[in-house]
Structures are given as C-alpha cells and as structure tokens.
Amino acid sequence: MEYLLSSNQVPHAQLFSGSPGYGVLPLAIEFSLMLLNHKSDSGSTNGLGKVSQNPDLHFVFPVVKRGSEKIVYSHDYAKEWSTFLNESPYGDYSNWFELISVGNKQGIIGIEEIKNLHKKMFLKAFSGKKKVCILWGVEKMNSQAANSFLKILEEPPNNTYFFLIAENTELVLPTLLSRCQQITLGPINSEALRAIIPDKKLNIDQIILQAEGDYNLLKGFLEDSRNVKYEELLVKGLRLAFKAKGNKSIVGDLINWSAELSFQGREEQKAFLAYGIQFLRDAFLLNYKLESIVYYRSSINFDLSKLAPYIHNQNVLELIKLFENTHYYVLRNANTKIIFSNLALKLTKLLNLPKN
C-alpha cells in the first residue's frame, strides 16, 4: 500500500474483504488518512473515531429508521459510528447493530443514501485536493442502491477514491466487484497477537493457536463472558431436543425455545447459528481425542464431553448442514418462526440417531 501511495497509483475503487477480526476497517481508515495526508498527533491516545475526523473522509454504513423518519442517512448516526470506531474497530455487523439497537430490523444501505453520496462526492474537497469514501458493509446495499453506486464507480469525480469493505464477497453484486481492485486480508501475525495478551500466566501459545489470527476470537478467549448467551440458548435447546423424542410435553418446551430464537434480532440469530456450528464441530472432535484443536471453553460449566458421544459420524454432517441452511434462510429474510421451528424439530431427530 505504501508503494501505491508513493507512486501515486492508488486505484479509485478498492474492495477490502476478510474477517473483521483481521483489521479490515482500521486498515482502510489508516490508508485513507495517509492518502489524504492527514496529520495526527503521534503521541495521542485518541480512538479511531476521533482520529478519523477529517472533512474529506466520508463514511457510508448500514442503518435503520429509529422512529417515524421517512429517510435515514449514515450521517444521522455519526455519534454512534464514532463510538463504534473508538470501542469496537474490529467489530462486525452484529456488534454495530447491537450498538444502534436495531432489534429485528435489517440494517441496510439504501438508494437515498447513495443519491446523497453522489451529491457529496461531486463537491469540491475541503482541502481542495482528494476525497475518500469508505463504504462499510457492501453486502447490506439493496439492489437499487448497488446499481446507483455502480454509476459513480464507472464515472468517478476527479481525485475521489472509494474503499469498499465486505465480510463476504459472494453477497456483493458481481458488477460492483468487477469495478474494484480486490484486496483480501489474511490473519494477523501471531506475534502481534501475543503482544496484546495482558496476562502472561495464561497458556499463550494455546490461545494464539485457537484465535487463528483473528483479534475478535482472541478477545473472546480472554473474556470469560464470551458467548454466554449463545451457549445458554444452545445447551438448553440441545437438551430439550434430545428429550423431546416420544415426549409430547417436552415438544411444547422445544417449540417455545425456537420461538425465543425467532424473537432475536437477525444479526443475533446469525451469530448464534455460527456459534452452534463451531460448538458441534468441537463436540465431534472430542470423540477422536483431539482436544488440542477444540476451541470450546464453557462459561456455564457445561461438560462438552458428555454431549460428544451423541455427535458422531452418522449425524454430524447433517447437524452442521441444518445450522448452515438455517443461517442461509435468516440471511434471505425467511420467516424466522418457521425456520427455527424446523431447526428445533430436526435437532430432535438428528440427536437421537444411533451411532454405528
């Protein structure tokens, strides 16, 4: 990237992708500030939200209507965005939507946002030189917005740069991808992660191995309260599903459990399902005495080894597929009451399959 800056060969449209825990957003912001020749106090302890306050650096990100507004823009959430950058620069969509309390709404980047962006980016830069727009959450653009954004990428204003950020490029409009130079970030160097672990008494090598170069995973392993909510929900559901076969009274409790999941926000639902996939994988690995690559650490004193015998080669692939398909349907805005009821009932069947 330094070469691109020094040689003045920065493409006008770049797409950064990768796990949020790899530092995609902080990298895009730092690169943007370098491109804008932004001068900051090297000794400052300001967070990323404060540092990124530059009149020629614009942000677009998914938002929701909070009340009776007909239209809502990213700049309406400027205060919350600054807080997010300061406190969760490696955060994902779920973290952002939790901060702005979207509930069961879907955060999006809509057509009016892009129309407004057209107007802003064709104005003269405050410095008289370059302008940069960071569009975080490209997957959250609806089709109208994406097609409108294509126009500005095809005929961009002079000295204007667009840095797009996506967690999953498969959900991005292919024609958008074709207009951008794509940069995929890999895991963070293990030594960099090692340097930020505060308690040297911990099993550092094991934690770094489990983190897989992801800052968010590392942070999670260092926090005892990580995923407590998801763990409690999943263990509760698995226990009910196992007992529900042939027991009508338990089936009612299981359906109530699925309803509890359906009332969660969609980002929460997706995070829960992703957690469930890892949980099932780890339970299966325990059958083969592979504790060294099992990431699960209980926050509620649940003994995964007691579940492990029921996650075996006759059902593990179908169980994981069930969670993956449910995740897919949540992503496609399917009726959550139906899909989580289906998840609950199929769990009962799969958990009770005999092991060969």
Show pLDDT as tens, one digit a residue, over the chain (356 residues).
655 665 577 899 999 999 999 999 999 999 999 999 877 654 445 789 999 999 999 999 999 988 788 899 999 999 999 999 999 999 999 889 888 987 777 889 999 999 999 999 989 988 888 999 999 999 999 999 999 999 999 988 899 999 999 998 988 999 999 999 999 999 999 899 888 877 654 567 767 876 788 898 788 767 644 468 888 999 999 999 999 887 888 999 999 999 999 998 877 888 889 889 989 999 999 988 777 767 777 778 889 999 999 999 999 999 999 999 999 898 887 899 999 999 999 999 999 998 87
Domain layout of the chain by residue ranges? 2-186, 192-222, 228-351
CA 355 to chain centre: 35
The CATH T-level fold of domain 2-186 is: Rossmann fold (3.40.50)
Do residues 74 and 61 make contact, with C-beta atoms less than 8 angstroms apart?
yes
CA 326 to chain centre: 17
User: Residue 161: helix, strand or coil by DSSP?
Assistant: strand
How far is Cα 182 from Cα 178, in angstroms, rounded to an integer?
A: 9
71-84: b (≥16 Cβ within 10 Å) or e: ebbbeebeebbbeb
